[in-house]
Amino acid sequence: MADGPLIVQSDKTLLLEVDHAKSDECRKTIAPFAELERAPEHIHTYRLTPLGLWNARAAGHDAEQVVDTLLRYSRYPVPHGLLIDVAETMARYGRLQLANDPAHGLVLQAIDVAVLEEVLRSKKIAPLLGARIDETTVLVHPSERGHVKQALLKLGWPAEDIAGYVDGERHAIGLDTSDWQPRSYQVEAAEGFWHGGSGVVVLPCGAGKTIVGALAMSLAQATTLILVTNTVAARQWRSELLRRTTLTEDEIGEYSGAKKEIRPVTIATYQVMTTKRQGIYPHLDVFDTRDWGLIIYDEVHLLPAPIFRFTADIQSRRRLGLTATLVREDGRESDVFSLIGPKRYDAPWKDIEAQGYIAPAECTEVRVTLPEADRMAYSVAEQEDRYRLAAAAEQKIAVVDAIIEHHAQEQVLVIGQFLDQLAELGEHLGAPVITGNTSIRERERLFEAFRRGEVRVLVVSKVANFSIDLPEAAVAIQVSGSFGSRQEEAQRLGRILRPKGDGRTAHFYSVVTRDTNDADFAQHRQRFLAEQGYAYHIVDADDVLAWGSR
């Protein structure tokens, strides 16, 4: 196409012209297989990676579809070598399969014998495999199923796991749809997972990932272990399951710092599961306490390393990962692919917004300027101290004031990273502050007061990034973040995406200090949301401060 919005380059980068009439259409079409790297105003840069192509392949996209998309939207002829590379990379997925042989049990079988010969010569693969049965088949000990998949992925030969799953202990779980109905995309997501047997469902914050979990549980009809980020999230899961399913209070247990209940459905926190004593993780035994038929990993992009290690040993269990973004800042996306499973369903945020299931959102970056004295202090500070100096700039307080006053009728979350900055803001605004030091009981009390409208402004640390349901929050003001974390930016926007009763737009403000690493990190954080179609409108702090005088 001579006037397409995409420039496809031989180094596997894709340049998308944002202002082109077909840029949105193109962005949605390339999203399943291309990863956004940079998102400045006019040209967005995507990259084709093996993991992105394999995830697309596992989700049902084939090389022909990917090649057709590149040819259809490219402004210039697509490099022939790149098209061949796409086809060959996607063809690597499934050349080796983990299967269940009736006579021998778990085996690694090859569609391509030469590939099997290649991997058998790897020093990392050979110790994980057993005896060779025939030319195309090698025994695998069941306990090595996950480790084999990890090692094969690192060699560039991702195995398709068709070995099946144990049913686990049966437990009846029905849906109580007397006052709700699952949305079509939630049903598709749950069925996509169930058909694949294990894997990850990617849905925007506020789109009802808990309901996808409940639907998966109703398909499994088995005991279920649910892993969540914190105790507040555990109690929200419990509340949702009691409302949406036929489960009773006695059937749902909480395994956290406060309680140690093992029930047919047990909700455990990552924090307690990864508590280490004398060099061991005693609570990982929860994985073995029952014959679980399903394990659900909420916010799977945050999965801690010890959980990865144990998950490698339980590959015969059905595993469902739920997340708003597969981005991991530690680069362990490949471990999610190997051990939880490939992406089974991914709904673009703007598609869910168009259906009215999440609120439309306007993103604004407000840039403040450091006074000369502070700028000098920043310049001469040690590298590790610079971000705190820039992110906690005093000039941000007046901007937060002006934004809150501008949205006088809305409920507002002020979100930040540094506890002293949050304490200062809380005192200045006369607003309660929630941090990791706030007790679970006090957090729940304040969140409930916010939901009821008794508290209009709430200052929160990163403890509110995940799995907190605050449907009335319509404005979020981010004053500092975890450096350049894309996943955190997505989660923070997600706090205000619950659809509003009157259909009004949500507002997400990121207040950053120009000419510092605060602005650099902000650009990096915004990449994932730009990939989902959100554009940041950049304004100067002076313009925001002038709102009150209009």
Structural domains of the chain in order of their starting residue, each with its CATH number: 6-92 (no CATH), 100-161 (3.30.70), 184-352 (3.40.50.300), 359-549 (3.40.50.300)
Reduced to 3 states (helix: H, G, I; strand: E, B; else coil), residue 295 is strand
**Is a pLDDT exceeding 70 seen at residue 90?**
yes
Average pLDDT value for residue range 10-29: 91
Query: Measured between alpha carbons, how far is 214 from 223 in angstroms, rounded to an integer?
Result: 12
Identify the band that residue 504 occupies on the pLDDT scale cut at 50, 70 and 90.
confident
Write the pLDDT tens digit of every residue in 92-125: 999 999 999 999 999 999 999 999 999 999 998 9
Identify the band that residue 473 occupies on the pLDDT scale cut at 50, 70 and 90.
confident
Write the pLDDT tens digit of every residue in 56-81: 998 889 999 999 999 999 999 999 99
Write the pLDDT tens digit of every residue in 318-358: 999 998 877 666 677 888 888 898 888 888 777 888 888 88
Within 8 A by CB and 6+ apart from 380, the residues are none
**Is a pLDDT exceeding 80 seen at residue 477?**
yes
Query: Measured between alpha carbons, how far is 149 from 199 in angstroms, rounded to an integer?
Result: 14
Decide: pTM greater than 0.95. no
Average pLDDT value for residue range 29-39: 82
Determine the pLDDT at residue 549. 56
Determine the pLDDT at residue 328. 67
CB 317 within 8 Å of CB 309: no
**β 294-298/265-269 pair status:** unpaired
Determine the pLDDT at residue 1. 46
CA 201 to chain centre: 9
**Is a pLDDT exceeding 70 seen at residue 87?**
yes
Q: Quick one: what percent of the chain has pLDDT higher than 70?
A: 95
Return the closest-CA partner of residue 233 out of 433, 432, 444. Answer: 444
**Is a pLDDT exceeding 70 seen at residue 486?**
no
Identify which has the larger pLDDT, 24 or 186. Answer: 186
Average pLDDT value for residue range 293-312: 85
Read off the amino acid at residue 14: L
Determine the pLDDT at residue 2. 61
Beta bridge partners of 106: 100
Average pLDDT value for residue range 514-522: 85
Identify which has the larger pLDDT, 197 or 186. Answer: 186
Determine the pLDDT at residue 509. 92
Within 8 A by CB and 6+ apart from 173, the residues are 217, 218, 220, 221, 222, 224, 245, 246, 247, 265
Within 8 A by CB and 6+ apart from 207, the residues are 185, 186, 347, 352, 357, 358
Query: Measured between alpha carbons, how far is 97 from 407 in angstroms, rounded to an integer?
Result: 56
Q: What are phi and psi of 356, to 5 degrees?
A: 85, 10
**Is a pLDDT exceeding 80 seen at residue 157?**
yes
Return the closest-CA partner of residue 401 out of 477, 470, 465, 460. Answer: 477
Average pLDDT value for residue range 246-251: 96
Average pLDDT value for residue range 419-425: 93
Query: Measured between alpha carbons, how far is 466 from 105 in angstroms, rounded to an integer?
Result: 40
Average pLDDT value for residue range 281-308: 85
